[in-house]
Amino acid sequence: MVKCRYVLVGIGWLVLTFCKPNNRASETRSTKFLNEPLVSEIYTADPSAHVFENRIYVYPSHDINSERIPGDCGSQYSMTDYTVFSMDSIGGPVTLHEVALPLKEVPWAKRMLWAADAATKNGKYYLYFPAKDKEDVFRIGVAVSNRPEGPFTAQPTFIEGSYSIDPAVFEDEDGSFYMYFGGIWGGQVQHWDKNKYTPADCDKKDNEQPNAPAIGPRIVKLSEDMLGFSEEVKEIQIVDSDGSPILTKDNDKRFFEAAWMHKRNGQYYLSYSTGDTHYIVYAMSDNPYGPFTFKGILNHPVKGWTNHHSVVEIKGKWYLFYHDIQLSNQTNLRNVKVAEIFYNNDGTMKALNTLIE
């Protein structure tokens, strides 16, 4: 006979099972995921979370089965619409809303509705999203709604001067809105030098000089009407603790995709994915434009290839929204989750491990 003890840990469903045979000759330990998926009716990924109208809204990618061959260019992620979900509180019931924006209603877009974000100003809601245009170049568009869940109406063309993927919009305390964006490999940002595009296939994935400074995410201030850029796009510099640039070869530290900005106690936190090493890491600055000093890991690798997130304060606590592939065990069919995060006394963030097995 085997006796087992079950322990529930954290805000989700981490279950630690300690099983001991009667003779106590051996002990086994099996573990599960830290949290359960928030939505199981559809596959969701790349969650951008916000509190609008005293309710939590999550703007995820909507994963679908794809017949495209998996590869480094990301063709297996061929999403065709956005669907928002919301909840009153962490752990409460989740409402899955109707389709917020389908690809067929974006006049300039050809395919691949990848990770999006949302913002609000003067009673309007703005959905910022990447898609490949008719020439298969990633651009960033914007759609507008009177409601946080949509439906959204896309502008007739993409934002002038926009490119690459993963727009994340941050509102500073002075009311200014900034967009952080970019992604290497399939995200194409390596094809843009000083905001000029050089056509190339996906074989050019990074800076081709491993000892050179790594490609950085981009930042731009949004226009007053939220529909465009008010300045030239700038590249963000991420440096090590000694002030030296993070290098292309620093795969555990260098920017890959999924830039996200949040602010706490006057400090700006730029978090992002390292891509092929599968971490979410972060860097800090006292300026939204940087430079940002690398600090460490926010989330360890999840089950699945991609690691993409957002950070949001809800009722005085901070949470990481992220995804893995618990439901499907398939890299392009993901599910969104949430975990509480914590800070050290010096303002640095404590690393999470959301996959315990």
Beta strand pairing call for 317-324 and 310-314: antiparallel
Cα torsion 73, 205, 169, 138 to 10°: value is: -50
- Look up 117 and say whether it is catalytic: no
Identify the CA nearest to 164 among candidates 259, 298, 81.
259
What tokens appear for 138 in the block?
Answer: 């990633």
Three-state DSSP state, 68? coil
- Look up 72 and say whether it is catalytic: no
Cα torsion 200, 201, 206, 208 to 10°: value is: -60
Secondary structure letter of residue 190 according to DSSP: G
The sign of the CA dihedral 245, 250, 254, 256 is positive
Q: Number of C-alpha atoms within 13 angstroms, CB side, residue 102?
A: 4
H or E segment to which residue 317 belongs? strand 317-324
Q: Return the HEC string of 104-172.
A: HHCCCEEECCCCCEEEEECCEEEEEEEEEECCCCEEEEEEEECCCCCCCEECCCCCCCCCCCCCEEEEC
Q: What are the counts of helices (DSSP H) followed by strands (DSSP E) for the chain? A: 0, 26
Residue in 208, 257, 313, 346 annotated catalytic: 257
**Which are the catalytic amino acids?**
46, 257
